[in-house]
A and B are shown apart, each in its own frame.
Chain A
Amino acid sequence: MRYEYRSLLVSVAALAATAGSGLAIADPDLEKHMADPSNWAAQAGDYANHRYSELNQINASNVGKLQVAWTLSTGVLRGHEGSPLVIGDTMYIHTPFPNNVYAVNLKDQTFKWKYEPKQDANVVPVMCCDTVNRGLAYGDGKIFLQQADTTLVALDAKTGKVVWSAKNGDPKIGETNTNAPHVFKDKVLTGISGGEFGVRGRVIAYNIKDGKRAWTAWSIGPDSDLLFDPQKTMTWTNGKMAPVGKDSSLKTWEGDQWKLGGGTTWGWYSYDPKLNLVYYGSGNPGTWNPAQRPGDNKWSMTIFARDLDTGVAKWVYQMTPHDEWDYDGVNEVPLVELTVKGRKVPALVHFDRNGFAYTLNRETGELLVAQKYDPKVNWATHIDMKSGRPVVDKRYSPGTTGPDVNVKDICPAALGTKDQQPSSYDRKSGLFMVPTNHVCMTYEPFQVEYTAGQPYVGATLTMFPAPGSHGGMGNFIAWDAANGKIVWSKPERFSVWSGALTTAGDVVFYGTLEGYIKAVSPKDGKELWKFKAPSGIIGNVFTYMYNGKQYVGVYSGIGGWAGIGMAAGLTEETAGLGAVGGYKDLAKYTTLGGSLFVFSLPDGAASSSSTTAMR
């Protein structure tokens, strides 16, 4: 009730404001720039998280001729996730901690301005073990940087001067940030990291103009914190949508454990302007030892659909109730129009860490499809479509065996069949191009006590390539989200920890941990081109056009969870712990780095080849 009233007030106020100022609520600046494929104006290129470009100068017939156009050192040797942004003649580059921002003039690759924040070095240990940052956001003439120390900064895109800044957490209690901020309409949204420090997750929306907090929506806690309306916030229940009811989160926790409940929000968000809904997922529940938190632990591991203006949740769907494996639900939520079982639906698709790919009606929250996108997934036999819950195989359930028991051969590993590395939607074929992990684990939970600012993990695990498969630790796959089927699968030696990009030139790009950037055909995964960068690639591929020429770029700089675990060069002795084969190998291929690579076709190749393509 309370929220109904409040949202009513907000909408009335918003209407009044619109009428009064005559200015659109939408951010015409960002939307104009996103509509022009010459730019790469948002981390995913658009609100819907397609990671698709209409540019086709570089295409299947000439991509083999791609060569380095220019490179740039970021000056930081850590994991480089995310990608730069391109607006007009300027590229905006970010780095891992200390989170420097560079505005690069595309004319001559000189720096227009640099922003080098001063951050307390004490934030680094809390981010243990890698200090990644997933990139910048643009809107309203500003560049938004979400610093590791939880400060959100708005910079003037022309000068790099700070317009406003806001603090959304406290590193002293383990709160940090790795996520990119997201600009939707008149707001900039950000989240929080710290799922391994007993942090309680939330999404915070700031007014883009002045940095004033518009709303805060927690993942876990009382209804007032969740911005839930117990009667109107819906979830999939017994084959249909039903209200979540009162205290839907608190009821699923014992005592005050919810205060350390996790459900952090460090992933990629998407936005549907027509429905005015924001979509994102929450992370693991606090402590990896399930014995310490009986119950479903709502709303960790959940997709939220929230009204952008008020933050009030329209619907929620929990993928992994009572997590026993660290299968965070934070992965991207691309929005697409699909025909499922003969019915056209406004859909969202979500490749969860838990190894299932979900297709839901994004307007209503109805569950449509849930299938494994790696056949090796074994922790659950299937998703029961009526309840929407996974049917857990007790052999792979550390919550069933209890603390201090080492559960073996669980697939996927904690880093999931896919982690944050975002997929790409091929608008032509309607298929998703998905970078995946092919890694399994042993998992041994144990009792932990909470100390503010100290790790609150509670499980030891080891990871290894999926047994009985091709021996590699990754696949790059094409996924049919309407039918829940793998169309093709290309094995990779290591986890594919780089975000994919599909273009209208019938090419899909991605990077590998060894340091290759590859172009393959979205039709069958056939390799068309590759280039070896100096350090492993965990960044996302992006494209833009400048002066009539198309460019493709990516960061090279290994790190992140995969890089940390795999670049270690484990010794023979640890082979007994399950860290065998491929893990050791990565050190043979790559070492730390920090650079940007930009590729283009040699002069003349574009025009001649595009005629070839037309023939």
Chain B
Amino acid sequence: MKFHKTLAIVMSALLVAAASHAALSQSTASASPADTPKRTAAATPDSKSADSKSAGSQSDKPYMVVDGTKVDQKTLMGWRTWRALACERCHGAAQEGLVGPPLVESLKRLTKQEFHDTIMNGRPEKGMPPFSASKMVNDNWEGLYAYLKGRSDGQIKPGHLYPLDSDKKK
């Protein structure tokens, strides 16, 4: 029973994904407005003063991060996607590179478009699978880009991430 339910979710998601994928490829450089909270929205009034300072300095970044482990919802979903697709099996738990290249380095070079194309089409000759069939990747690839950009910039710590409003210290 559970499987049928999951299957139904996956199937409907594929339809959504197909639609949103088409939309995304038209406007890859900017986040699609529907599923992306405004960056400033994360700097909520209850943020601590230190937080809003660091948030301000990151205004040109695709992610919001506080204390290295608390991130905006989109970036959080990007990290969850990283985790669900088991990217660490090839790229390392800290994106330092194993069989696959170190993404902390790659993200310094790749444009957002190149990142999108690589993850969707893969690099089969090098051992990178295409992820275009994954609902989670289609829904969250921009968040994944944001997460890896944050890792590459040294702003987001490796390991578990939490929502911005989480009281989790580490």
**A residues bordering B, Cβ < 8 Å?**
121-122, 124-126, 128-130, 196, 254-257, 259-260, 292, 406, 444, 446, 448-455, 457-458, 460, 462, 564-565, 568-571, 573-574, 576-577, 579
Contact = CB atoms under 8 A, between A and B. Distances in A.
A549 to B, nearest CB: 39
B89 to A, nearest CB: 5
Contact of A460 (B4, B83, B122, B157): B83
Contacts of B135: 449, 451
Contact of A449 (B94, B136, B159): B136
Contacts of A571: 94, 96
B159 A577 contact: yes
B93 interface: yes
B45 to A, nearest CB: 28
Nearest to A460: B83
- Majority secondary structure of chain B interface residues (helix, strand, loop or mixed): loop
B1 interface: yes
A449 B90 contact: no
A92 B103 CA distance: 39
Interface in B37-86: 80, 83-86
Contacts of A457: 86, 89
Contact of B9 (A124, A129, A449, A570): A449
B86 to A, nearest CB: 4
Interface stretch (B26-34, B106-114, B124-132): B124-132
Interface string B91-120: 011101111100000000000000000000
Nearest to B127: A124
A449 B160 contact: no
B99 A129 contact: yes
A124 B158 CA distance: 27
Given A406-B160, A449-B9, A571-B96, A454 B90 contact: no
A125 B9 contact: no
Contacts of B169: none
Nearest to B86: A455
Given A455-B89, A570-B94, A577-B93, A260 B3 contact: yes
- The CB with the most chain A CB atoms within 10 A, among B80, B85, B93, B96, is that of B93
Contacts of B98: 129, 564-565, 568
Nearest to B2: A255
Given A451-B133, A454-B85, A444 B94 contact: no
Contacts of A122: 124, 129
Contacts of A257: 2-3
19 contacts: A121-B125, A122-B124, A125-B122, A125-B129, A196-B86, A196-B89, A256-B2, A257-B2, A292-B2, A448-B84, A449-B84, A450-B6, A451-B133, A457-B86, A460-B93, A565-B98, A573-B158, A577-B93, A577-B94
A145 B1 CA distance: 39
Interface in B144-168: 157-160
Q: Number of contact residues on B: which range applies?
A: 35 or more
A451 B10 contact: yes
A128 B4 contact: no
Nearest to B133: A451
Interface on chain A toward B: helix, strand, loop, or mixed SS? loop
A564 B99 contact: yes
B92 A128 contact: no
Nearest to B125: A121
B1 A128 contact: no
A285 B144 CA distance: 28
Contacts of B92: 568, 570
Contact of B133 (A125, A196, A444, A452): A452
B96 A568 contact: yes
A577 B158 contact: yes
B9 to A, nearest CB: 7
A576 B159 CA distance: 9
B92 to A, nearest CB: 6
A451 B90 contact: no
B3 A259 contact: yes
Output the residue of B122, B125, B127, B134 with the most chain A CB within 10 A: B127
Contacts of B80: 446
A579 B1 contact: no
Nearest to B91: A129
B133 A453 contact: yes
Nearest to A258: B3
B3 A256 contact: yes
A593 to B, nearest CB: 15
Contacts of A579: 93
Contacts of B85: 454-455
A258 B80 CA distance: 25
Nearest to A559: B99
Nearest to A455: B86
A454 B133 contact: yes
B99 A255 contact: no
A573 B94 contact: yes
A453 B88 CA distance: 17
Contacts of A260: 3
Q: Which 10 A-B pairs have the closest CB atoms?
A: A256-B3, A125-B129, A255-B1, A455-B86, A255-B2, A574-B94, A457-B86, A129-B99, A124-B127, A122-B124
Contacts of A573: 94, 157-158
A570 B93 CA distance: 9
B96 A574 contact: yes
Contacts of B134: 451, 454
A507 B88 CA distance: 40
Contacts of A564: 98-99
Contact of B89 (A124, A128, A259, A292): A128
A574 B136 contact: no
A604 to B, nearest CB: 46
Contacts of B90: 128-129
Contacts of B6: 449-450
A573 B94 CA distance: 8
Nearest to A564: B98
Contacts of A568: 92, 96-98
Contacts of B158: 573-574, 576-577
A118 to B, nearest CB: 14
A11 B136 CA distance: 51
